[in-house]
Chain A
Amino acid sequence: MSGDAMNPATVAQPGEDVHGDDRWMSQHIRFVQECKDAEPDVLFVGDSMIQLMQQYEVWREVFSPLHALNFGIGGDTTCNVLWRLQNGELQNIRPKVVVLWVGTNNYEHTAEQVAGGILAIAQLLTSRLPKAKIVVLGLLPRGELPNPLRQKNAAVNDFLRSRLPRLGQALLLDVSGGFVHSDGAISQQDMFDFLHLTSTGYRTMAKPLNDLLLQILDEAPEPRRVSLV
């Protein structure tokens, strides 16, 4: 059972400046600034899996044309993402879709707690952006060979698969197919450090995501906008 008060993965927490250069907060502030000017149709939010997407060609070719914003920060847990979204990163923007990809860094939490954290974020998004669709990306397997984290991430996906549809506007997209080969190994061609995706890896998962986004964006009616001078 996940009573929210008891699930540490649902407790909003800013990133700690462990090293002394305050980069986490700098990035958060920058995202808040971007909210003031930009009008994204798609908002990507999450951890390094989201953040790195922007560094590859696939971003410019596939997602930028959809008017996407990237609010990923490497190392983020569900707690960090929750805090960021509650503290300015949703101000003034009205995306039609939010793509959420977080959870693999929640090392201290169980699979059920992580799923609870992701659900909490989805709930927050639904309440702040009632017309937006939430696409939650399933956690990818990690590590060169089968290991406990792979099982944990798969369990998180299972929990999400059953609980996410209850939110109505949210759905789970599992893009992990094809990464684990028949011998149980993950290729360095897909994940250069057996966690983060290469350009090839991103292209593999971008295809189903892009198809889904186009589908959603086609369906959504253009909102009327009042122009303010």
Chain B
Amino acid sequence: MSAEDPNPAATPTPCEDTQGDGRWMSLHNRFVSDSKDKEPDVLFVGDSLVQLMHQFGIWRQLFSPLHALNFGVGGDATQHVLWRLSNGELDNISPKVVVLWVGTNNHGQIAEQICEGIMAIVQVIKNKLPNARTLILGVLPRGKSPNPLRERNAKVNELVQEAVLSLPHASFLKVDPGFVHSNGVPETHAESLDVSKFTDASAVGEPRTTAHPVNAPRQHTRLCNCEGESDIIKGKGRDVVNKRCVCQQFGRRNVKYGKMKTLCQRKKNKNLKRCRRFSKRQREELKKGGNPRKYAPSVPI
């Protein structure tokens, strides 16, 4: 006969200061003091995915105008958020909506425990802010290839989605627009390097501008002489054309002569038809005048 162990994911627990600079508590204290001064209509609470949102332009564009406050702390699991909300971060404010995004850092716990943790947070919010609605964001997939954490996160989302059906004050929103490709690998933008889906830091990246994901081009050893985009950039007293090959992140510049050659051109690979970077179908499309930028290479596996 064993007593049921309390669920660690649903037990309010402050974060231990293992590193020695007290940052977690500093942030918590900041948030408590923000609660005293500010009057948000929307409160974002969660882990690094919430916290980092605040650092990008998208926050100012979309969420600041809604009078939003950001109470995200990197590394937080459900039990940490639970503790924070139960210890002052919800006092003195009355937002209309609380956006909750947490769960990916609950390591060593199973999906059921994590779901319980999330629902416990929802309950605390209901107790402290009876008039607020809670919007729970689905946990995103993670890791380059399919792995146990992806399954766990997907299961958490399933369970949470089910659990909120019976709650009038809470809803679930799936925010994964299709980060994972048909080949199981998240898309990376080799050109801009703005968003690397391998890190949770960039999971809330800038709005993506690529077309519908195409099959990942096969790995190749030869580079093609494709038409890249041309920018004019102001050089030292002269304008220089910067030809960027889409195969490369950047082209080589010869500032002295103002001439630009892409890496591909310098390697003298002239035959686009034989370039194995593009699949046969893509090469056909390119021959007909397609835009090579549509086929930005993903990282070969």
A contact residues vs B (CB 8 Å cutoff): 18-23, 26-27, 30, 33, 37-39, 48, 51-52, 54-56, 59-60, 64-65, 67, 69-70, 74, 107, 142-145, 147-150, 188, 192-196, 198-199, 225, 227-229
Contact = CB atoms under 8 A, between A and B. Distances in A.
Interface of B: 18-23, 26-27, 30, 51, 54-56, 73-74, 107, 142-145, 147-150, 188, 192-194, 196, 198-199, 201-202, 205, 223, 233, 247-250, 252, 263, 266-269, 299-300
Contacts of A60: 192, 194
A18 B51 contact: no
Contacts of B192: 60
A211 to B, nearest CB: 16
B19 to A, nearest CB: 6
Interface of A (DSSP majority class): loop
Contacts of B299: 30, 33
Contacts, number: 119
Contacts of B300: 33
A149 B19 contact: yes
Tell me the interface secondary structure of chain B in the complex: loop
B245 to A, nearest CB: 10
B26 A26 contact: no
Nearest to B251: A67
A145 B300 CA distance: 45
Contacts of B56: 55
A22 B199 contact: no
A124 to B, nearest CB: 25
B265 to A, nearest CB: 10
B282 to A, nearest CB: 19
A198 to B, nearest CB: 6
B142 A37 contact: no
Contact of A23 (B18, B73, B194, B198): B198
Contact of B74 (A56, A193, A228): A193
